[in-house]
Amino acid sequence: MLFLLIRRGLRQHLVSTAVAVLLVALGMGLVVSVWVVRAEAEQSFNRSASGFDAVLGARGSKLQLVLNGLFHQEASPGNITAEDYQQVKSLPMVDRAIPIVVGDNFRGVRLVGVSDDFFQNLEYAPDHVYTVEPGGRPFKVGEKEAVVGSLAAHQLGWTLGTTFHPFHGLDYNPSAQHSEIFTVVGVLAPTNTPADRVIWVPLEGVQRLGGHDPAAFTDLSAVLIRFKPEAKAAGLMLDTRYNRQGKRLTLAWPVASILADLFSKFAWFEDALRALAYMVAVVAGASVFSAVYSSMSARKRDLAILRALGAHRRFLIAAVLGESAGIGLLGCALGFGLYALIASTVQEILRTRIGVLLEPWAWNPVLVWGPLLMLGLSIAAGALPAWRAYRLSVADGLSPLS
C-alpha cells in the first residue's frame, strides 16, 4: 500500500515531479560526468601513449614532443639527425626506438613517416601489437606505399589500392599538393590509440617528397623510445644526458607526468565544472523539496484521512520520504542515461579528434557516490515535509467539523 501511495502521489503531481526528476538527473549526470570524464580522460591519454616511455626530439617543449610524437597533434619543435636516432637506438637500456617524420597531410589527415620496425612486433598495449588488417600488408621501405589507420580509412573512405597525392604541411592547403602518388597497401587494425587516425608511410616517403629540403632528407621529427623493462634507471640516465648535460635535444620523459602537467593546466576549468555540478545538485535538492512540500501541502487532507483510517504517524513519514526517495531514484536512473549521453559524446569527440578511447563505464567511485549523493540529497529534501506530515493534526486535516 505504501508503494502504491508513493507512486500515485508522484503521478498526481506529475509536472513538479517531472521537473524535480529532471533536475536530479541533471545534477547526477553532471557530477558523474565531470568526475569520470576528467579521471578517465587522463587515464585514456596515458593508455594511448602507445606503449612508449619517452620521446626524443629537438630542443623544445616536452609536452609539444609528446603531443606531436604520440598523439599526432601540434607541430614538431624541430628536427633531429639520423645520427641522433642511431645513437639512442644503440644504447643498451633502449628496447625499441622508432623514428618518425611529420610535415605532410592528406586533406587534414596527418602523414607520419615511420621505419618498418613499426610493424615488427611493436606492442601498443600489453599483448597487442600493431598489425595490418587481413588482405593488406605493411608498406615496403623506399616505396610510395601507405598503411592507413582504421579511423582515417573510415573518414577518408579509403580501401586497399586507393591512391592519393599528399599535401605539404600539417594543415590542409589545396594549393600545396605534392606530385607523388602513394598507394594504400594496408589498413592498420584498430588500436584505439592516436595511431588509428593517421596515414603511415615509409620514412623516405615523407623525407624525400618533392619540395622538401634535400639537405634535410635524412632528418627526423622525433624518436619514440621504449626502455627495457629491467633498465629501471634508463629514463633518469637519459634525462640527465639529454636534458641537463646536452643543449641540442630534449627527452620527453616520463610521459605520464608530462600528461599530468597538461591536465593540471585545465584544473581551473575542471574546478568550474565541479562548482557548476554542485550548484545543479543543490538546485535539484531544492526542487525535490519544493515538489514534495507542495505535494504534501496539497494532500494534507489525504494524509489526515490515512491517519483516520488507522495509519501511524511513521507511515506518513515513510510515505513522504518515499516520494522524495522515488524522485531521487528516478532522477538517478535518468541521470545515468544523461551521463551515458554526455560520456558517449565526449568519447566520440576524443576518439575522432585525438584517437584516444574513453572508457566511461570503467570503475570509478563516483559511479556509486554520485547517485548516493543525489539520492541522499533528495531524501534530505523530504525531511521537512515529512516532519510536517508527522506533526499533522488529524482533526484539523479532516475539518470542517459539523
Query: Near other proteins by CB under 8 A, which window of 9-17, 107-115, 128-136, 262-270?
Result: 9-17
Decide: is 8 part of the binding site for other proteins (CB under 8 A): yes
Q: What 3-state class would DSSP assign to 124?
A: strand
Nearer to other proteins, 158 or 315 (CB): 315
Decide: is 300 part of the binding site for other proteins (CB under 8 A): no
Q: Concatenated DSSP letters for 270-339?
A: HHHHHHHHHHHHHHHHHHHHHHHHHHHHHTHHHHHHHHHTT--HHHHHHHHHHHHHHHHHHHHHHHHHHH
Decide: is 165 part of the binding site for other proteins (CB under 8 A): no
Q: How far is the CB of 320 from other proteins (least distance, A)?
A: 15
Q: How far is the CB of 307 from other proteins (least distance, A)?
A: 7
Distances (CA, A) of 200 to 3, 30, 188: 62, 39, 9
Strand-pair partners of 251:
56
Q: Are 67 and 73 in contact (CB under 8 A)?
A: yes
| 124 HSE (CA, 13 A, CB side) | 23
Query: Near other proteins by CB under 8 A, which window of 178-186, 279-287, 303-311, 337-345?
Result: 303-311
- The C-alpha cell 622508432 sits at 98
Query: Near other proteins by CB under 8 A, which window of 203-211, 223-231, 302-310, 336-344?
Result: 302-310
Q: How far is the CB of 376 from other proteins (least distance, A)?
A: 27
Query: Near other proteins by CB under 8 A, which window of 20-28, 46-54, 270-278, 310-318?
Result: 310-318
Whole-angstrom distance, CA of residue 28 vs CA of residue 328 = 10
Decide: is 394 part of the binding site for other proteins (CB under 8 A): yes
**Residue from the set 206, 249, 311, 373 that interacts with other proteins by CB under 8 A:** 311
Decide: is 3 part of the binding site for other proteins (CB under 8 A): no
Decide: is 308 part of the binding site for other proteins (CB under 8 A): yes
Give me the helix-helix angle, 366-381 and 383-391, nearest 10°: 30
Q: What 3-state class would DSSP assign to 350?
A: helix
Distances (CA, A) of 401 to 301, 302, 395, 396: 13, 16, 8, 9
Q: What 3-state class would DSSP assign to 383?
A: helix
**Residue from the set 284, 306, 321, 374 that interacts with other proteins by CB under 8 A:** 306
Nearer to other proteins, 23 or 291 (CB): 291
Q: Are 31 and 370 in contact (CB under 8 A)?
A: yes
Decide: is 15 part of the binding site for other proteins (CB under 8 A): no
Whole-angstrom distance, CA of residue 24 vs CA of residue 377 = 9
Whole-angstrom distance, CA of residue 133 vs CA of residue 287 = 54
Residues that bind other proteins (rule: CB under 8 A) add up to a total of 24
Strand-pair partners of 220:
80
**Residue from the set 260, 272, 341, 395 that interacts with other proteins by CB under 8 A:** 395
Q: How far is the CB of 313 from other proteins (least distance, A)?
A: 8
Nearer to other proteins, 12 or 352 (CB): 12
Decide: is 102 part of the binding site for other proteins (CB under 8 A): no
Whole-angstrom distance, CA of residue 26 vs CA of residue 389 = 29
Q: x/- contact string, 253-282, with other proteins (CB under 8 A)?
A: ------------------------------
Q: How far is the CB of 295 from other proteins (least distance, A)?
A: 11
Query: Near other proteins by CB under 8 A, which window of 4-12, 101-109, 350-358, 361-369?
Result: 4-12
Whole-angstrom distance, CA of residue 217 vs CA of residue 210 = 11
Among positions 315-354, residues that touch other proteins (CB under 8 A) are: 315
Q: Are 344 and 364 in contact (CB under 8 A)?
A: no
Nearer to other proteins, 157 or 310 (CB): 310
Q: How far is the CB of 392 from other proteins (least distance, A)?
A: 12
**Residue from the set 19, 93, 125, 305 that interacts with other proteins by CB under 8 A:** 305
Count of beta carbons in the 10 Å neighbourhood of residue 40: 23
Decide: is 302 part of the binding site for other proteins (CB under 8 A): yes
Decide: is 89 part of the binding site for other proteins (CB under 8 A): no
Whole-angstrom distance, CA of residue 380 vs CA of residue 192 = 43
**Residue from the set 11, 244, 265, 391 that interacts with other proteins by CB under 8 A:** 11
Strand-pair partners of 184:
146
- Where along the sequence are the contacts to other proteins (CB under 8 A)? 1, 4-5, 8-9, 11-12, 301-302, 305-313, 315, 394-395, 398, 401-402
